[in-house]
Structure 1
Amino acid sequence: MNVIDRRAVSTLARTLVIPAALAALAVTAPQAAAHTELDTSSPGANATLAGLPPRVTLTFSDAMTQKYAKVAVTAPDGKSATTGEPQVAGNAVTLALNTESSSGRYTVGYRVVSADGHPVSGSYTFTVKATDSPSPSPRETRSASAPTEKPEADKAGEESSGLGVTMLIGAGVLTVAVAAAGGLGARRRRAGHGQ
């Protein structure tokens, strides 16, 4: 009878404890990002500038690869306004511009691939006013799809508290499963001894 009790406890452990532990791990594991997105751009989309800035900088939600970073800036006359190739530094892709280009509407087009293989493409425009009309300086804008950023300290606090809560929930589920398995095993042993 004692052998049957061990088998029952072992079966119960496999059916309750292992799935509970896997569920706890799934809850506490970081969520994978679905897609890489453009977070910020400088100059920003629809910006109006007094002069052409020395570079365009695009910042993405994931690290980029140098090999597959393609960025083009087209001047109002349809010609390229760039001087060189895009440079990648982590999440940022930078492209130098010919600051002597004329005023008018510029188009920034990009097709990049993140380090984990997600392709991202898109375009936007900004305008450079003639030098005799005053205008705001270049500004950085967020992509329309990007949420408002919180200070790093707030994000770190939220991430750590969220992780702490999910770890506590996972530990609670695991504790209940182990207690249930132990209680069932003790009950079966008592039943086998006639108590």
Structure 2
Amino acid sequence: MRTTTRGLTLLLLTGFLAMCAGALPASAHSRLLSISPADGAALPASPTEVVLTFNEPIDPQFVTVRITDSEGGNVVGQDATAEGAKVTLPISDPIAAGNYSVLYRVVSADSHPISGSTKFTIAGNPQAPPATTGTASGAATPTPSASSSVASPPVASAATGDTTAAPEGEDPGSTPMWVWFIVFAALVAAIGATFYAVRRDESQH
């Protein structure tokens, strides 16, 4: 009986440690902490810059931030720059009233790609010139920084929107924590059922 109990306890501890080991890499991934203008913000006038703050330093060689209009055209000609964990896209020419998306694609210092998108609206800015698109047809044209000649990971819309905090909240390749809790609960239930069956068999002999 003691041997059986010890074996079940060891199995339970092993399952718990495996769950923790699987959850740690997901929580260690780089992510967006905040963005200004915030996701869904309604602004009275054109912003002068877009600032993204991450939880880890960003590699300045792989930084792309674009602002696109409702037709997908790029409306800002400047390149974004990275300093530590902060990425800044300056907006020198005011943007006209309308709905816009911020598309970002960066790589952290530990080579982890981060991408996503947020939205904001400019309620009115009569002095601003009409928004210009990146091409005559209005198709989106990426404007990566001069140093980001290497192909970057594709832009993906933010699932939670990691959003003023983490539009990219969860890394697409990581397993959500709730999945690990379900697995652990199932493991505990299986061990409990096995322990009950062993005790019942021993009591019948």
Aligned counterpart for 1:143 among listed residues 142, 145, 166: 166
Aligned counterpart for 1:81 among listed residues 52, 75, 80: 75
Change (3 A) 1:84 1:131: closer
Give yes or no for the alignment of 1:57 onto 2:80. no
Aligned counterpart for 1:66 among listed residues 33, 44, 60: 60
2 CA distance for matches of 1:117 and 1:104? 35
2 CA distance for matches of 1:127 and 1:62? 28
Partner AA of 1:57 in structure 2: V
1 CA distance for matches of 2:113 and 2:36? 20
- Written as runs of structure 1 = structure 2, the 5 A alignment for 1:32-47 is 34-47=28-41
RCO higher in 1 or 2 (8 Å CA, sep ≥ 6)?
Answer: 1
1 CA distance for matches of 2:52 and 2:86? 6
Is the helix fraction higher in 1 or 2?
Answer: 1
Note if contact 2:105-2:113 (Cα within 8 Å) is conserved in structure 1.
yes
Q: TM-score of the superposition, structure 1-length normalised?
A: 0.50
SS at match of 1:35: coil
- Written as runs of structure 1 = structure 2, the 5 A alignment for 1:113-132 is 113-131=107-125
Query: What's the CA shift for 1:131?
Result: 3.7
- Percent same amino acid at aligned positions? 34
Give yes or no for the alignment of 1:95 onto 2:89. yes
Note if contact 1:43-1:57 (Cα within 8 Å) is conserved in structure 2.
yes
1 CA distance for matches of 2:68 and 2:29? 27
Q: What is the root-mean-square deviation of aligned Cα atoms in Å? A: 2.3
Q: TM-score of the superposition, structure 2-length normalised?
A: 0.48
